[in-house]
Amino acid sequence: MDDAEQPLLVLAGPTAAGKSALALSWATRVGAEIISADSTTVYRGTDIGTAKPSPAERQQVPHHLLDVADPREQYSAARFQQEARAAAAAIRARGRLPLVVGGTGLFVRALLANYAFAPAGDPSVRQAIEAWWEAEGPGPVRRQLRLVDPASHAAIAAGDRRRLIRALEVYRLWGRPLPRQPGSPPYRALAVGLFRSREELGRRIRDRAQAQLEAGLQAEMLALHAQGVPWRAPAFQALGYREAVQWARGRLSEADLLPLITRHTRQYAKRQLTWLRREPGIRWINLDEVSDAAALERLLEWTAAFLRP
């Protein structure tokens, strides 16, 4: 059975909607293991501010792709795609179901769609193309791109030097153009999205931010910085840490910390929901209208129908 025939469960939704608790119950009942699709929980040492599952929760249900990256390194969607596919294959080999849980829309899309990510850049290749551009202008670069990658040539503006050079660099590194559209879905997926009203989600976001600050978010951030994690590290771009860094550098008062984290997180949650609602095939559950118990029963009914031969 190839990947396109393999079942994959997905539980997505904005931050603080209640994914983690429901995912634990769902995974326990159907024999699943959880693959985290979150761009912040991948970083080691960022436990409080990313609301990672507790040790007890991880013992109850195995979790994958937590604590897999150094807080100084950039963790890409391409890397997530590769590692999540490997985790899903290992879970299936154990006779269990992979359950992807998270709110990072690009991560969810990278796994559900057959995305082909560009290879990492090569400075020597890029510099050679840039020198060619400088010596002869954009014409020869565009003409070669039109021959080897007509889709990119048509999509990129004639004056967009950076993207034109990058497109030709990808071709020279990869030996073929980068597909501009995803291919066939690599899995047979049951994808479910959770949402709440704006007011209720805002309240939950504020309560969680308050609890994180009380649990020591600032101390956790300062400890990482003392261990050599720079202020501009990728892990410190996560909500909560980003504002705490501003506080630590004297650019934000203690009193303004909670309101700013809350406001930024609400804005992010709105973007998450907008992104996820564009994903085809997601079934939605409004957790303002049904209890967690009722939502779980709905998930179990859908799973049984989904797995039925």
Phi-psi region of 281 (alpha: psi -120 to 50; beta: other; left: phi over 0): left
Q: Which part of the chain has CATH 1.10.20.140?
A: 123-174
State how far the Cα of 52 lies from the Cα of 58, in Å rounded to an integer. 10
Which residues lie below 8 Å from residue 227, measured CB to CB, with a gap of 6+? Answer: 45
Task: Give the CATH superfamily of 3-116+188-307.
Answer: P-loop containing nucleotide triphosphate hydrolases (3.40.50.300)
Which element (helix H / strand E) includes 222?
A: helix 217-226
CATH number of 123-174: 1.10.20.140
CA–CA gap between residue 119 and residue 112 (Å, rounded) = 20
Q: Strand 63-64 and strand 32-36: pairing? A: parallel
Q: What is the pTM of this model?
A: 0.84
Tens-binned pLDDT, residue by residue, of the chain (309 aa)? 455 679 999 999 999 999 999 999 999 999 999 999 999 999 999 999 999 999 999 999 999 999 999 999 999 888 999 999 999 999 999 999 999 999 999 899 888 887 777 777 788 999 999 999 999 989 999 999 999 999 888 888 887 888 889 889 989 988 888 766 666 778 999 999 999 999 999 999 999 999 999 999 999 999 999 999 999 999 999 999 999 999 999 999 999 999 999 999 999 999 999 989 988 889 999 999 999 999 999 999 999 999 998
Q: How far is CA 68 from the centre of its chain?
A: 14
For 85-187, where are the E strands, in sequence order?
Answer: 97-102
Query: Would residue 144 be called left, alpha or beta, if left means φ above 0 and alpha means ψ between -120 and 50 degrees?
Result: alpha
**Which ranges in the chain are annotated with CATH 3.40.50.300?**
3-116+188-307
DSSP β-ladder status, 188-195 and 97-102:
unpaired
